[in-house]
């Protein structure tokens, strides 16, 4: 079990999303016209910040097109929106529109979560402007949380794509070890937990077992859930698992995996603390780092 207060970067959103009110057009109009309504700004998928820790909150621009607006939720009772700016020219100081992956570790936890929420929704909007059923342009309703097709009346909802990310564990003569792998495209020496998309018609456990079979040739004996993390590139949900496997004999999938390696606890500790002689781990804001840490603890 994760600690009771365990919260990953991009989780722990402090807003009240008011999901049951967003379909009420009168209610949405009141949130738009509210004197205390504010908006966080995005341009090219980048949020506008006030400083390293906080997203900028600006008054809603008058006459903003509904297509580019998203209701995020109530913040201390006041409506908070997001606005997606389009075009090549930054609608403000370009250096304050930050790349979220680089900025996330410095943002206050709730701020990273709000940025992830808006970024995923805007990416979904950008990729789903046309009806997947009939191909006609669709339009945004429910304050940005749904799209409808005026031509065939199909309704389209934001996507969340589940990804299992698992730390395979095996207990042998020298104690329990965890399996990490690396892809050829990664920075030299970087090792992480294995991961893959859950396929349609598959449980999390089955997705985990299939990925370990495909990527490492391992048989999964048992799967245990640890925690999950929203990952807004563009809209993944990383589901962190521990997988007990039957053997430590691995066969790396030559296409995806360059190297697989078992790490004993002392080696894994050195990895997280950045003092391993030749290998490194993902940073603390990645769930892979937290899975290794949880296993060590």
Name the site residues for Zn ion (rule: CB under 5 A).
131, 133-134, 149, 151-152, 154
Query: Which distant-in-sequence residues (6+ apart) come within 8 Å of 30 by Cβ?
Result: none
Whose Cβ is closer to Zn ion: residue 147's or residue 226's? Answer: 147
Closest CB to Zn ion among 153 and 222? Answer: 153
| Residues 95 and 273 sit within 8 Å (Cβ to Cβ) | no
15 three-state secondary structure: coil
* Cis, peptide link before residue 105, omega less than 30° from 0: no
Residues 16, 74 contacting (CB under 8 angstroms): yes
From CA 243, how far away is CA 168, in angstroms rounded? Answer: 5
Other beta carbons within 10 Å of 25: 11
Exposure of 76 by Cβ count < 10 A (0-12 exposed, 13-18 middle, 19+ buried)? exposed
Q: Which is nearer to Zn ion, 52 or 135 (CB)?
A: 135
Considering the complex, state which of residue 152 and residue 171 has its C-beta at the smaller distance from Zn ion.
152
Q: Work out how close the CB of 148 gets to Zn ion at its nearest, in angstroms, rounded to a whole number.
A: 9
- Kindly tell me which of 32 and 154 has the beta carbon lying closer to Zn ion: 154
From residue 288, how far is each of 60, 185, 211, 242 by CA, in Å?
Answer: 38, 18, 16, 11
Output 134 or 190, the one with its CB closest to Zn ion: 134
Minimum CB–partner distance for residue 120 and Zn ion (Å)? 23
Q: Measured from the CB of residue 152, what is the shortest distance to Zn ion in angstroms? A: 3
Nearer to Zn ion, 153 or 296 (CB): 153
Strand, helix or coil for residue 14: coil
Nearest to 51 by CA among 115, 109, 108, 92: 108
To Zn ion, the closest distance from the beta carbon of 133 in angstroms equals: 4
Q: How far is the CB of 38 from Zn ion (least distance, A)?
A: 34
Task: Tell me how far, at minimum, the Cβ of 235 lies from Zn ion, in Å.
Answer: 21
Contacts of 46 (CB under 8 A, 6+ apart): 97, 98, 99, 100
Residue whose pair of structure tokens reads 């066969």 in the numeric block: 251
Q: Which of 168, 240, 164 is nearest to 197 (CA)?
A: 164
Shortest CB 123 distance to Zn ion, Å: 21
């Amino acid at each position: 079990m994760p600690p009771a207060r365990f919260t990953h970067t991009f989780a722990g959103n402090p807003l009240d999303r008011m999901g049951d009110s967003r379909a009420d057009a009168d209610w949405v109009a009141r949130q738009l016209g509210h004197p205390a309504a504010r908006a966080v700004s995005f341009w090219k998928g980048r949020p506008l910040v006030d400083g390293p820790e906080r997203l900028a909150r600006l008054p809603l621009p008058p006459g903003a097109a509904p297509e580019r607006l998203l209701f995020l939720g109530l913040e201390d009772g006041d409506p908070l929106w997001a606005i997606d700016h389009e075009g090549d020219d930054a609608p403000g100081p370009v250096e304050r529109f930050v790349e979220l992956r680089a900025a996330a570790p410095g943002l206050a936890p709730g701020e990273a979560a709000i940025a992830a929420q808006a970024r995923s929704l805007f990416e979904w909007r950008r990729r789903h402007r046309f009806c997947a059923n009939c191909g006609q342009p669709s339009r945004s309703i429910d304050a940005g949380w749904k799209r409808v097709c005026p031509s065939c009346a199909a309704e389209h909802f934001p996507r969340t794509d589940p990804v299992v990310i698992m730390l395979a564990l095996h207990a042998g003569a020298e104690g329990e070890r965890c399996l990490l792998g690396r892809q050829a495209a990664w920075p030299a020496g970087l090792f992480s937990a294995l991961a893959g998309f859950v396929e349609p018609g598959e449980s999390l456990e089955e997705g985990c077992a299939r990925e370990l079979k495909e990527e490492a040739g391992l048989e999964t004996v048992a799967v245990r859930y640890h925690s999950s993390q929203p990952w807004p590139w563009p809209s993944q949900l990383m589901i962190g698992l521990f997988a007990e496997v039957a053997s430590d004999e691995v066969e790396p999938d030559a296409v995806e995996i360059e190297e697989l390696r078992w790490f004993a606890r002392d080696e894994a500790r050195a990895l997280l603390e950045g003092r391993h002689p030749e290998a490194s781990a993902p940073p603390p804001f990645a769930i892979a780092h937290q899975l290794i840490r949880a296993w060590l603890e």
